[in-house]
């Protein structure tokens, strides 16, 4: 929706943010209503620790949004990585989602300096360095 068709863009952005927050709260409530055995079974099916799954749900669906941008700044195709090593990409998304250094990462991504600085704070640094870029280079 363009600004011209949105007469009050700031108000609309606030409404959209509030709606997203409400949806996330409903998802958390649904998760809390599962009994522990069901929740553990879901975590097992996803091949993830139950505590990690709980934390991932708490962080929300946008908690790994930095990863594709980081990959792009490093010249790595997220799509290529997903084809070549889908489980590795999923684990990298988990690590990114649980990261405590989002502020630094977001600043570096915005400034275009993430490729030079990620080694100091990124939980995926060792994995990113070990990737064979020939397998996952942009095409």
pLDDT in tens, 40-61: 888 888 788 888 877 777 777 7
* C-alpha span between 106 and 114 (Å, rounded): 9
* C-alpha span between 88 and 75 (Å, rounded): 17
Read off the tokens for 88: 């590795």
Tell me what pLDDT residue 44 has: 85
Tell me what pLDDT residue 76 has: 92
Contact predicate 127/88, CB 8 Å: yes
Considering the domain architecture, whether residues 106 and 137 belong to the same structural domain is answered as: yes
Residue span of the structural domain in which 18 resides:
8-61
Distances (CA, A) of 3 to 7, 13, 15, 61: 7, 11, 15, 26
Domain count, the chain: 2
Query: Is the pLDDT higher at 2 or at 29?
Result: 29
Tell me what pLDDT residue 13 has: 73
Tell me what pLDDT residue 99 has: 92
139 pLDDT higher than 50: no
1 in any annotated domain: no
41 in any annotated domain: yes
Considering the domain architecture, whether residues 29 and 88 belong to the same structural domain is answered as: no
2 pLDDT higher than 70: no
Considering the domain architecture, whether residues 68 and 51 belong to the same structural domain is answered as: no
> What is the 8-class DSSP label of residue 48?
S
Considering the domain architecture, whether residues 46 and 69 belong to the same structural domain is answered as: no
Read off the tokens for 130: 């070990």
2 in any annotated domain: no
pLDDT class of 135 with cuts at 50, 70, 90: low
Mean pLDDT across the stretch 51-77?
86
Considering the domain architecture, whether residues 46 and 100 belong to the same structural domain is answered as: no
pLDDT in tens, 76-129: 999 999 999 998 998 999 899 989 999 999 999 999 999 999 999 999 999 999
* C-alpha span between 31 and 56 (Å, rounded): 11
Considering the domain architecture, whether residues 136 and 70 belong to the same structural domain is answered as: yes
Considering the domain architecture, whether residues 84 and 117 belong to the same structural domain is answered as: yes
3 in any annotated domain: no
Distances (CA, A) of 113 to 65, 71, 74: 17, 13, 10
76 in any annotated domain: yes
Contact predicate 67/93, CB 8 Å: yes
Considering the domain architecture, whether residues 69 and 84 belong to the same structural domain is answered as: yes
């Amino acid at each position: 929706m363009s600004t011209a068709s949105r007469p009050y863009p700031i108000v609309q952005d606030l409404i959209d943010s509030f709606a997203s927050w409400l949806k996330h709260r409903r998802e958390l409530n649904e998760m809390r209503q599962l009994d522990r055995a069901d929740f553990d079974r879901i975590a097992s099916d996803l091949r993830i620790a139950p505590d990690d799954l709980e934390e991932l749900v708490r962080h929300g669906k946008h908690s790994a949004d930095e990863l594709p941008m980081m990959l792009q700044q490093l010249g790595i195709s997220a799509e290529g990585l997903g084809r070549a090593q889908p489980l590795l990409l999923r684990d990298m998304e988990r690590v990114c989602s649980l990261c405590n250094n989002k502020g630094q990462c977001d600043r570096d991504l915005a400034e275009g300096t993430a490729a030079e600085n990620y080694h100091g704070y990124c939980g995926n640094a060792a994995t990113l360095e070990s990737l064979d870029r020939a397998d996952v280079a942009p095409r």
